[in-house]
Amino acid sequence: MKIRQITVTPVAFHDPALLNAVGVHEPYALRSIIQLHCDDGVVGLGESYGDDAFLALLGAAAEAITGLDVFHLGLIEQAVARVIGGGAFADSHGLTGGSSSSKTVLSVFSAFEVACLDAQGKSVGRPVADLLGGAVRDRVPFSAYLFYKWDGHPGAAPEDGDDWGAALDPDGIVRQARRMIDRYGFGAVKLKGGVFPPEQEIEAVLALRAAFPDLPLRLDPNAAWTVPTSLKVAEALDGVLEYLEDPTAGIEGMAEVARQAPMPLATNMCVVAPEHLAPGLRQRAIGVLLSDHHYWGGLRHSQQVSALCANFDVGLSMHSNSHLGISLAAMVQLAAATQHLTYACDTHWPWKREDEDVIVPGALSFVDGAVPVPQGPGLGVELDEDALARLHRLYLDCGLRQRDDTGYMQRLHPGYTPNTPGW
Ligand code: GKR
Ligand code: MG
């Protein structure tokens, strides 16, 4: 089953003014949608980053793998590595640690691997989870993902706004959590921190604890703190957090915090590529890995990373950036077939407009905080060509070509500097 042609379509979708350690989300998030046309008429779908630099790499890799068999994933990976391996690469997708040649190859390969698996599943009439060894769960639990946020993007037209309101203090965060939990039924809660001084973020977490006494809580300042500050926060939130995510930068710093912190540390920043696994695990820098198939090399490599974590007694959760339905379907198929998944996964899904996506509605839903695993062949989702054209039009019109949370913040607040490591 040969790859006859590959189409990569950049798309944009509305994104609220979500704050993080390096600035604020711009009004649109960018993604790429991959359609992999096979010679027997099957089309495999993939989704990944949509910034200019990444689109160029996807284009080069697409050309190199056209003509290969969708079942020959090893050869496809080798072809991707040959054409883009060793090149410099800027990781502008948002707070997922440094970039390296291996991470770049794995990120580009991932977009095509998912599309190949979708095509394989469609061709044999089985869900992708079956190609990964079979589902060990029929629903995948996700966590509420809270953000400090502005009411809206300054100067935006009302139709470009969102109806979540501002969340800039503990009350706002609790309000946001309540609404998100009411709507999706989430059974765990993560707060994106690194925005305000740590004392304020501790207060917000304590307010969440008071409002939701039974829900596991997480805090993620994206490495905005020094080691001593991380330890102070860890002590203040002893018994409150199920894990503390990326309090500080780098494997050494994380290891130092991990030695004294009462709760496990999690990361999607210091262990983000194969070369980080040995030092990260040897130094016991993390108790939980937030894996992400978009940069760990697709669904099969992510399963291998999960098995490795199980052997080293490291928990596994899943990281997320702003994404659409094809990515959610891939995350769900992977999580369904991953034995060692010890925490509810992250998703930015609630921040996306319900009616804005590239897939035909209905295949993915949240029931009691979890997504039932779609049972259709492949990823279990179908592309809506009209919706794809609409979001591509939005991409063309919006003018954004890379994610730049810091630049956007600086345009709005000249003099702003990122908070990493601010405290
Ligand atoms: O979307 O602002 C964001 C997040 O901060 C994202 O960029 C991070 O990569 O969600 C991520 C995380 O868990 O660090
Ligand atoms: Mg994180």
19: CATH: 3.30.390.10
Give the CA angle between residues 250, 252, 253 to the nearest 5°.
70
Q: Does 154 lie in the same domain as 73? A: no
Determine if ligand 1 sits within 6 Å of the CB of residue 222.
yes
Question: What does DSSP assign to residue 354?
Answer: T
* Residue whose CB lies within 8 A of the most ligand 1 atoms, among 26, 192, 406, for a mutation test: 192
Q: Does 290 lie in the same domain as 178? A: yes
Spatial contact of 329 and 378, defined as CB atoms under 8 Å apart:
no
Q: Does 96 lie in the same domain as 193? A: no
Q: Does the annotation mark 392 as catalytic?
A: no
Q: Indicate if the pLDDT at residue 90 is higher than 80.
A: no
Number of domains in the chain: 2
* Distance separating alpha carbons of residues 419 and 239, to the nearest angstrom: 26
Q: Does 285 lie in the same domain as 137? A: yes
* Distance separating alpha carbons of residues 10 and 220, to the nearest angstrom: 29
Q: Does 151 lie in the same domain as 88? A: no
Q: Does 322 lie in the same domain as 247? A: yes
Q: What is the 47 CA–ligand 2 centroid distance (Å)?
A: 20
Closest CA to 332 of 181, 73, 113, 132: 132
Q: Does 200 lie in the same domain as 93? A: no
| DSSP string for residues in 102-145 | HHHHHHHHHHHHHHHHHHHHHHHT-BHHHHTT--S-SEEEB-EE
Burial string for 102-130 (b: 16+ CB within 10 Å, else e) reads bbbbbbbbbbbbbbbbbbbbbbeebbbbb
Assigned domain for 401 exists: no
Which residue range is the domain that position 85 belongs to? 3-125+386-396
* Residue 34: strand, helix, or coil: strand
Q: Does 319 lie in the same domain as 183? A: yes
**What predicted TM-score, i.e. pTM, was given to this entire model?**
0.97
Determine if ligand 1 sits within 6 Å of the CB of residue 18.
yes
Q: Does 197 lie in the same domain as 285? A: yes
334: CATH: 3.20.20.120
What confidence category does residue 93 fall into, taking pLDDT thresholds of 50, 70 and 90? Answer: confident
Q: Which atom of ligand 1 is nearest to the CA of 96?
A: 9
Q: Does 345 lie in the same domain as 244? A: yes
In tens, the pLDDT along 358-371 reads 999 999 999 999 99
CA distances from 333 to 98, 139, 209, 393, 394 (A): 27, 10, 31, 29, 29
In tens, the pLDDT along 249-297 reads 999 999 999 999 999 999 999 999 999 999 999 999 999 999 999 999 9
